[in-house]
Amino acid sequence: MNWKQKLLEIMARMVAMGLFFFNSVMASEENPSMRYIPEFGLIESNTPFFVLDESVKSIQGGSTVTIVQGMMDSQRTRITYRVENLPDFSAPVKQQISEICHSQPELQLPDGGRFQGHVTSGTSWQSGYSRQIDFPTIQDEPKTAKLVFTCLEQSIISSDLTEVEMDLVFVPADPDAISFPLITIPSLEAELSSQKIEENSCGSEIQLAVHQYVKTDQSIGLFGSLESLSGNSQIELVEKDSVHLIDSSGKDIPLIENRSMSDRSDRKTDQRRYPWLYFTEGNIAGGRASLTIDDVWIRVNANQHLVFETGTNPQPGQKWNLNQPFNICGRKIILKSVEVNAEGDGFIFQIDKPDDIGNVVLMDLNHTLLGGGGGSDESSFRYRDGIPAGSIHLTLVNISILIPGKWTAVLDLPALSVSENNDASVSTCLTLSSWNKALQDSNPMPENLDGILVLYNPIPPDYRHHVMTTNLDGSDYQILAQGNRASLSPDNRQICFSNDSGLQRMDLETGFVVPLDGTLKNDSDPIWSPDGSRIAFTRGPASGLIGGPGPYRIYYGNTDGTQLISVLEDGAANHVMTWFADGHRLLYTVAGPDGASVKSIDLITKEIVHYFDTNYIHSRIALSPNERQAAYEVMLPGEHYGIQISDLDGKHAQLVVDAAPLVVTKPFWSPDGEWLVVSVYDEHFSDVPVLALIKMDTCQIIPLTNLHGSVSSWNP
């Protein structure tokens, strides 16, 4: 969950469950003192505004750095840059972790002074990344500076590295021409309706308010806050699926949270207030709308203590069973055990807690700690000077609690009409409601539908990925080996899969495993050719990190790993998807900043054909058996996963899966081309996905809840 990524704060005020708050619907009015500029945020009206004269590009060691945007007002300078074609690491990352650059560029003024900035947003697509950084404003004329890179983030720091300086020239711009007015919603007396607060629930009053909105050509941005009226609470996080906007027609409007901008409030000076900014996606019917927040994560200062004895010489792996209960806000937390970590310089705590408890932070406040954190069922910290002997005085500092609320604000919104992709909304088969209905219905497997599936899935106790085979009905289920994304040979006698040593080939009759010569730890996604004589695969960066930064190449060779031939080595993030039936073309994707490009390459002529682009960087492309259609993941409004099918050239796109908040991914065609099998993450079953079948012509859904994981092969 997103709350795990929040920085831990030692001191926190108690927060609580609250009451409904309604902003009465009244005429809104334009705020003459503030305006909104897309990609920048709020600016004061009549303040000078500057933009970058032109984009700036520099090539460094094979990587291309492009400053794509620069904007500046009286308070800050915002720079957006892109780095493409990251170089490969020359050795596994564990051997050179200290040599990897983690620095951000600095803004150098004409007098030589430098500013450090802070990253407000960024994306990564394996072979590159983009960053948006805010610096202080440039006070003096002319408005010029240099963006200085001491090294490129995610690249190796070499001895001959020199600083890269990129000249920036800012020119005046008319803010009224590129900005939109900020509309203030009148501040009225709150109309509060009470909600029963459970005894000892850490409950007090939380108020939701929408203060302002801005209407652009493509969206409406809502500026608001959650606030503790009693002043004794701190709100930690609101998860995206907990926020809902319903327009006057009753339509649920997708929302995207923007964490890089706010309403110029500074939470550091007012811990009671949690400001937020959401942008709508799609058309909106004008009139009365309602914004509802279902629940919030709060941080509670527990301040409870425990003492236990370690003896004179605690050793790595040494464990103490404590089973110490704590009662906080009516919830029981049990500290089950304490174990010395593998390094021997800290503790790992195993914790039993209710589902609505998130982080549980334990610390030794009597000694200097290097750091620590909390997870789903454990907490940990390390000592700077090693574990002290004797008594350890633990403090349960704070915990995160999910508080239900249903806070609602009602407001008037203007109508908004934007162009939408009507082709992608012809028919949606798998939705949340159709999935729940299919779970209740009796859905027997069609008699003529069968075959052998190859799955990959993390399994306990260590939850490492394993590959397995099974019949479609779940019979003859076999866990074969630790590995990932296995491909079944056309004759159903062998599989090829990847593990930490490279690509492996297994004989399914004998279970004998043979490594493919010449393959490496960073090789993945093996695919058998139609005649079974060759295997194509993707070679990642030499670091061996799954999804790590750097170039991704495509190779193919004999099934024993000999005569490996490089297909694509152009510095991009190329990923092989499948072979065409002719045996001399490969379908592949190229990950980029805006999604994935779907292409093919002819192994004989080297001709590359571009078919279409998706809006999701990690789209997996499943080619139908007749090679006329493709199925693939897309990102839907509100940052939800969907699955779409289209002609191979991208035309006649049809959305077949839109099941938010469920996550549905990894489509794969049946051998007859009439069904798709997909992976459905439904928390009511387990932490791993279950399978579902979708009939393409009728939208029939058959849940396969006895099968877990994702399908990487389906042979007749």
**From the candidate CATH numbers 2.60.40, 3.30.530, 3.40.50, 1.10.4100, the one assigned to the domain spanning 40-178:** 2.60.40
How does residue 2 score in pLDDT terms, banded at 50, 70 and 90? very low
- Mind listing the pLDDT tens digit for each residue in 34-71? 889 998 988 888 889 999 999 999 988 788 999 999 99
How does residue 12 score in pLDDT terms, banded at 50, 70 and 90? very low
> Is 464 a residue whose pLDDT tops 70?
yes
ω before 461 within 30° of 0 (cis)? yes
Tell me what pLDDT residue 480 has.
Answer: 96
- The 3-state DSSP class for residue 374 equals strand
> Is 233 a residue whose pLDDT tops 70?
no
Alpha-carbon distance 625 to 219, whole Å? Answer: 40
Q: What is the mean pLDDT of residues 409-438?
A: 81
Tell me what pLDDT residue 21 has.
Answer: 34
What is the average pLDDT value for the chain, to the nearest integer? 86
Tell me what pLDDT residue 177 has.
Answer: 84
pTM of the model: 0.78
Name which residue leads in pLDDT, 157 or 382: 382
Across the strands, what pairs with 416? 284
- Mind listing the pLDDT tens digit for each residue in 140-189? 999 999 999 998 887 777 766 788 999 999 999 988 888 999 998 864 43
Name which residue leads in pLDDT, 712 or 427: 712
Alpha-carbon distance 706 to 692, whole Å? Answer: 10
- The 3-state DSSP class for residue 47 equals coil
CATH architecture of 421-451+618-716: Beta Barrel (2.40)
Any alpha helices (H) in 320-416, and if so which ranges? none
Name which residue leads in pLDDT, 373 or 435: 435
Range in 19-23, 470-474, 513-517, 576-580 the model is least confident about:
19-23
Tell me what pLDDT residue 201 has.
Answer: 55
Percent of the chain scoring above 70 in pLDDT: 86
- Mind listing the pLDDT tens digit for each residue in 666-708? 999 999 999 999 999 998 777 789 999 999 999 999 999 999 9
How does residue 22 score in pLDDT terms, banded at 50, 70 and 90? very low
Q: Are 273 and 267 in contact (CB under 8 A)?
A: yes
Tell me what pLDDT residue 202 has.
Answer: 65
Token pair 């108690």 is found at: 14
Q: Closest Cα partner for 80 from 168, 21, 4?
A: 168
Q: What is the mean pLDDT of residues 641-667?
A: 96
How does residue 95 score in pLDDT terms, banded at 50, 70 and 90? very low
Tell me what pLDDT residue 260 has.
Answer: 67
Burial pattern 344-364, b for ≥16 Cβ within 10 A else e, equals ebbbbbbbebeeebbbbbbbb
Tell me what pLDDT residue 14 has.
Answer: 27
Alpha-carbon distance 377 to 532, whole Å? Answer: 46
Alpha-carbon distance 427 to 696, whole Å? Answer: 10
Range in 326-340, 584-598, 644-658 the model is least confident about:
326-340
Alpha-carbon distance 321 to 337, whole Å? Answer: 4
Tell me what pLDDT residue 677 has.
Answer: 98
Strand residue runs (E) in 198-318: 206-215, 220-228, 235-237, 243-246, 252-253, 255-257, 273-280, 287-309
- Mind listing the pLDDT tens digit for each residue in 481-526? 999 999 999 999 999 999 989 999 999 999 999 999 999 989 999 9
Q: How far is CA 363 from CA 339, 397, 577, 669, in A?
A: 14, 7, 48, 51
Alpha-carbon distance 244 to 626, whole Å? Answer: 41
Any alpha helices (H) in 253-341, and if so which ranges? none
Tokens of 74: 């009286």
Tell me what pLDDT residue 343 has.
Answer: 85
Tell me what pLDDT residue 375 has.
Answer: 61
Q: Are 263 and 221 in contact (CB under 8 A)?
A: no
Q: What is the mean pLDDT of residues 233-249?
A: 88
Environment class of residue 650 by beta-carbon count within 10 Å: exposed (0-12), middle (13-18) or buried (19+)?
Answer: middle
> Is 423 a residue whose pLDDT tops 80?
no
CATH superfamily label, 483-613: TolB, C-terminal domain (2.120.10.30)
DSSP secondary structure, 66-134, as one string: EEEEEEE-SSEEEEEEEEESPPPPSS-GGGSGGGB--PPPEEE-TTS-EEE-EEEEEEE-SSEEEEEEE
Tokens of 196: 């029963």
Strand residue runs (E) in 269-390: 273-280, 287-309, 319-328, 331-340, 346-352, 357-363, 369-374, 378-383
**From the candidate CATH numbers 2.40.128, 3.90.930, 2.60.40, 2.60.120, the one assigned to the domain spanning 9-36+179-298+404-415:** 2.60.40
- Mind listing the pLDDT tens digit for each residue in 322-373? 999 999 888 899 999 999 998 899 999 999 999 889 888 899 999 999 877 6
Q: What is the mean pLDDT of residues 126-132?
A: 93
Tell me what pLDDT residue 405 has.
Answer: 80
Tell me what pLDDT residue 28 has.
Answer: 62
Q: What is the mean pLDDT of residues 446-459?
A: 93
- Mind listing the pLDDT tens digit for each residue in 250-269? 999 999 998 766 444 444 55
Give pairs for 437-442: CB < 8 Å, separation 24+.
438/692, 438/701, 438/702, 438/703, 439/703, 439/705
Tell me what pLDDT residue 101 has.
Answer: 83
Number of DSSP helices (H) and strands (E) in the chain, helices first? 2, 55
Q: What is the mean pLDDT of residues 270-291?
A: 88
Name which residue leads in pLDDT, 149 or 13: 149
Tell me what pLDDT residue 92 has.
Answer: 45
Tokens of 214: 């801005």
